[in-house]
């Protein structure tokens, strides 16, 4: 499963990238707001930093304007994925931009029927939002499993990019369910390495080592 980082914070991306944990980046208008940066500038910096796809989201709501914004965003770098909302206008823009050979990430997906439409419109990625479904007492992971089954049944190549990941259990469940990609905030990715038994075991080993009086270096 590929790891995308869901942030527009350059330092956080760079830190994880050095560890080989970044296969791509996703941003959205809320994350751009949080970063306090200009969308074009920060997207270029991110795209220069990482090799994989960097999603940048349009804000127009009419198809023609979405297409224009998408072309502009795609012009920032070769690894830009144009992020479009799952509306009929977004799907129309997806069809046009995908046909031009551009990478499209269809976002704000909350049902398997929406995912089916995105695949038929040529999306490179579909982004089902797990956390936001869980927030309203629905099962985000069930949606990932349904999309996996549908895409596999019909041989759609659109990658399932599990989004709105809120905790480490979401990551495990995505890997188990067969999501192609998961995008998570840097804090969630950092937490993946943590285990109390690792800390406890290391403490014991270091205490015992101290008692041997030996040194390796
Ligand atoms: C994904 O592409 C979105 O940017 C993101 O995962 C949304 O997450 P949220 O529901 O925590 O805002």
Domain membership of residue 207 (yes or no) is no
Residue with the smallest CA separation from ligand 1 atom 6 is 164
CA geometry: angle 122, 29, 173, nearest 5 deg: 65
Ligand 1 atom nearest the C-alpha of 107 is 2
Residue with the smallest CA separation from ligand 1 atom 12 is 164
Residue with the smallest CA separation from ligand 1 atom 9 is 164
Domain membership of residue 67 (yes or no) is yes
Distance CA 53, CA 185 (A): 16
The pocket around ligand 1, CB under 6 angstroms, is made up of 6, 26, 28, 107, 127, 129, 131-132, 163-164, 183
Residues with a catalytic annotation lie at: 83
Residue with the smallest CA separation from ligand 1 atom 7 is 164
Which domain covers residue 152, as residue numbers?
2-192
Domain membership of residue 211 (yes or no) is no
Structural domain total, the chain: 1
Ligand 1 atom nearest the C-alpha of 28 is 4
CATH number of the domain residue 134 falls in: 3.20.20.70
Residue with the smallest CA separation from ligand 1 atom 11 is 164
- The predicted model scores a pTM of 0.96
* pLDDT of res. 34: 98
* pLDDT of res. 20: 96
Domain membership of residue 213 (yes or no) is no
Per-residue pLDDT in tens (0 to 9) along the chain, 217 residues: 999 999 999 999 999 999 999 999 999 999 999 999 999 999 999 999 999 999 999 999 999 999 999 999 999 999 999 999 999 999 999 999 999 999 999 999 999 999 999 999 999 999 999 999 999 999 999 999 999 999 999 999 999 999 999 999 999 999 999 999 999 999 999 999 999 999 999 999 999 999 999 999 9
* pLDDT of res. 56: 98
Ligand 1 atom nearest the C-alpha of 83 is 2
165 C-alpha to ligand 1 centroid (Å): 7
10 C-alpha to ligand 1 centroid (Å): 17
Ligand 1 atom nearest the C-alpha of 31 is 4
Domain membership of residue 216 (yes or no) is no
Closest CA to 5 of 134, 163, 132: 163
Domain membership of residue 70 (yes or no) is yes
Pocket test for ligand 1, best of 183, 185, 186, 189 (most atoms within 8 A of CB): 183
């Amino acid at each position: 499963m590929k790891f995308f980082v869901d942030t527009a914070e350059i330092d956080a991306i760079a830190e994880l990238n050095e560890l080989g944990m970044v296969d791509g980046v996703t941003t959205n208008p809320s994350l751009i707001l949080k970063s306090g940066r200009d969308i074009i500038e920060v997207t270029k910096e991110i795209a220069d930093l990482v090799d994989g796809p960097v999603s940048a989201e349009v804000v127009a709501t009419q198809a023609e304007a979405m297409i224009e914004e998408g072309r502009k965003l795609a012009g920032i770098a070769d690894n830009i994925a144009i992020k479009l909302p799952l509306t009929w206008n977004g799907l129309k823009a997806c069809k046009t931009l995908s046909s031009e050979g551009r990478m499209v990430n269809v976002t704000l997906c909350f049902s398997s029927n929406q995912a089916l439409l995105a695949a038929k419109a040529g999306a490179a990625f579909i982004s089902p939002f797990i956390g936001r479904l869980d927030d309203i007492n629905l099962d985000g992971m069930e949606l990932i499993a349904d999309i996996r089954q549908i895409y596999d049944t019909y041989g759609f190549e659109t990658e399932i990019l599990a989004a709105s990941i809120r905790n480490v259990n979401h990551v495990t469940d995505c890997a188990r369910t067969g999501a192609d990609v998961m995008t998570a905030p840097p804090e969630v990715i950092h937490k993946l390495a943590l285990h109390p038994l690792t800390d406890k075991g290391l403490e014991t080993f270091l205490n015992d080592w101290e008692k041997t009086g030996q040194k390796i270096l």
